[in-house]
Amino acid sequence: MKQARMRLETALATQASRVGYDQLPREAVEAARRAVLWTVGSMIAGSQDAGSDRVLAFAAEQQPDRSGPATIVGGGGGFSVALAGYANGVYAKALEYEDKFWIGNSHAYAVAVATVPAAFAAAEHRTAANATVSGQDLLTAVAAGTDAEIRMVAAAPHAIDTPFNSTYLFGHFGAAATAGRIFGLSAAAMLDALGLAYTQIAGTYQAHHEGSLAVRMQMGACVRNGVQAALLAGHGVDGPHEFLTGTDGLYPTFFRECESAALLDGLGREFRGTRLGFKGYPCCAAMHQAMDAVLDLRTRHGIRPEQVAAVRVHGAPSMEITCRPIEAKRHPTNHVEQSFSLPWSVACLLTAGRLTLADFRESALADPTRTALAAKVSGELDAPDDGVYAEIELSNGDTVRSAPVGAPTGHPDNPLSLDRLIERYQDCARNGAPRHTTERTERALDLILNLEKVDDATEVFRVLG
C-alpha cells in the first residue's frame, strides 16, 4: 500500500527532474515564455508598489555586504538566493495582476508567480558557481515546475471550499520543482526537495480579510522556501517521501481528496502550463466574470456614472471574498482592499471603461465619482460557474441585464493574444519608472521573446537589477 501511494510522488519527481528542452512540445515552450513575460512584467511594476520599498530595506539589512549571487528586480545584485527569491516573489504578486490556472471559470490559482522567480534565483545561484543556465534551460525548468504544480492543484478541485489558500500551499512545490530542475537534481533528490517543501507550506485568507501586505508576503515565502528546499536536497538532506498521500500528507491533511488521474494522466506528454491564463484585469480573479459583464453593459448601453442608480452582480460562490461584508468592500482603504473589492472594481470600470493599475492605488480613493459608485454596488452569490451576469438599474427607472459570462477575459478558453501580453508588459514597465528605464525594460523584453536563443538566462535579471 505504501509503495502504491508513493507512486504519485515518485512519478512527479521523476518527470520534473528528467524532462529536457527537446522533449517539450512547442506549445509548452511558448506557454513557459508567456509565463516568464507576464511574471517579469509584474515584478517590474510590483517593485515600485506600496510596501515594496520595505521589502527591499529588509533584504538590504539582512545582507549589508551585498556578497550574494542573486538580483532583486529594481534593487540590484548581491543578495542571497533566499532574499532575492523572497523579494521577487512578493513583487510578482504585489499588484494582483498575475497568471492563473482556472478551476472552471470562477476561481483560479496563481502558479508562475512562484515558478518564474524561483527559476531566476536558482539560475543566478548556478551561474555564480560557473555553471551557465541558458534560456532553454530556464524555459524547461519553468515548464517542468509549472506542470508539476498545476497537476497538484487540479488533484484538489474543491480546495476553494477549505480555509487554505492553495496559491500559496502549492506554490512551494512549484518553486521547489523549478529550482530543482535548474540545479540538476536527480529524481531521488527531487523527491526530497518536494518533501522538504511540504514541511514548510502555509497559506490562508486571513491577510485578505484584513487588507494586509502579508497577502503578497506569502508568495515571497513560497519562492524562498521552495528554492531552499531544492538547495537542501542538493546537499543530501532528505525529506518525507509520502508528502502528498501519506497519513499526514498534503491531500489527507488539507483537502481530504486526491484525484490521482489529475496528477498522472498525460504526465510527460502533456504540459499543463499550456492551460495557464493571464488576468484581463489587475484585481482578484474571482470577480473577472463580473468585470466582463459590467463592461458589456457599459459598452452596449453607453452608461455614464451619473446614470447609475444601483448595480447588482450575480456571481458564483467564489466571488464571496470580494463582496462580503458588503459595507467594508464598498469602502476599501488601501491597495490590498481595493484589489479584493467588487464594488470598487465595478465603480472604476464604470467610470473609465477599463481597469488600470492606477485604479488600485490609494490615491484613487480620493475620487468622489468612484467612491459614490462603489456605494451602489452589491453582489449576490447565486449564479452558476458559467452564467455570471450583472444588472444595472438606471436613474430613469430602467434596468439592463448583461449576457451570461462563462470564461472571462484572459482565461485559457478566452485568451489574451501575445500582442496583448506584450502591451501589458510595457504598461507594467511604465509603472516601474523611474527605477526601470525604457531602454532596460525593452532589452529585457527582447531577451524574453528570444529566450531559447539566449546563452545566459540571468542576463534578463541583470538588466532589470
> pLDDT per residue over 296-355, tens digit each?
999 999 999 999 999 999 999 999 999 999 999 999 999 999 999 999 999 999 999 999
> Any idea which residue has 467594508 for its cell?
328
The candidate with the shortest Cα–Cα distance to 153, out of 136, 137, 172, 135, is 172
- Averaged confidence pLDDT in the chain: 97
Burial (CB < 10 A; 0-12, 13-18, 19+), residue 453, is exposed
Alpha helices (H) in 272-401, listed in sequence order: 288-301, 320-323, 326-330, 335-339, 342-352, 368-374
Q: Per the structure block, which three cell numbers stand in for 339? A: 484589489
The three grid cell numbers given for residue 71, joined into one nine-digit string: 538580483
- What pLDDT does 2 receive? 54
pLDDT at 5 over 80: no
| pLDDT score of 204 more than 70 | yes
pLDDT at 4 over 90: no
- pLDDT > 90? residue 105: yes
Q: Which fold has domain 285-401?
A: 60s Ribosomal Protein L30; Chain: A; (3.30.1330)
Q: Which CATH architecture has domain 2-280+412-464?
A: Orthogonal Bundle (1.10)
Tens-place pLDDT, residues 15-36: 999 999 999 999 999 999 999 9
Contact predicate 293/400, CB 8 Å: no
For residue 365, count other CB atoms closer than 10 A to its CB: 18
pLDDT band at residue 1 under the 50/70/90 scheme: very low
Mean pLDDT for the stretch of residues 93-120: 97
Q: What share of the chain is helix, strand, coil (3-state, %, to 5)?
A: 60, 10, 30
User: Is the dihedral angle over the CA atoms 129, 132, 138, 141 positive or is it negative?
Assistant: negative
User: What are 381's three cell numbers?
Assistant: 452569490
| 285-401 matches 2-280+412-464 in CATH topology | no
Answer for the pair 85, 116: CB distance below 8 angstroms, yes or no. no
- Domain ranges in the chain are 2-280+412-464, 285-401
Q: Report the pLDDT value the prediction gives residue 433, as an integer from 0 to 100.
A: 83
Burial class (CB in 10 A: 0-12, 13-18, 19+), 427: middle
Give the tens place of pLDDT for each residue, 208-258: 999 999 999 999 999 999 999 999 999 999 999 999 999 999 999 999 999
Query: What do you get for the CA distance between the two ends of the chain, in Å?
Result: 50
pTM here is 0.97
Distance CA 193, CA 239 (A): 7
Does the pLDDT of residue 286 top 90, yes or no?
yes
Arithmetic mean of pLDDT, 362-388: 98
Q: Is the pLDDT of residue 385 over 80?
A: yes
Contact 407, 105 (CB under 8 A): yes
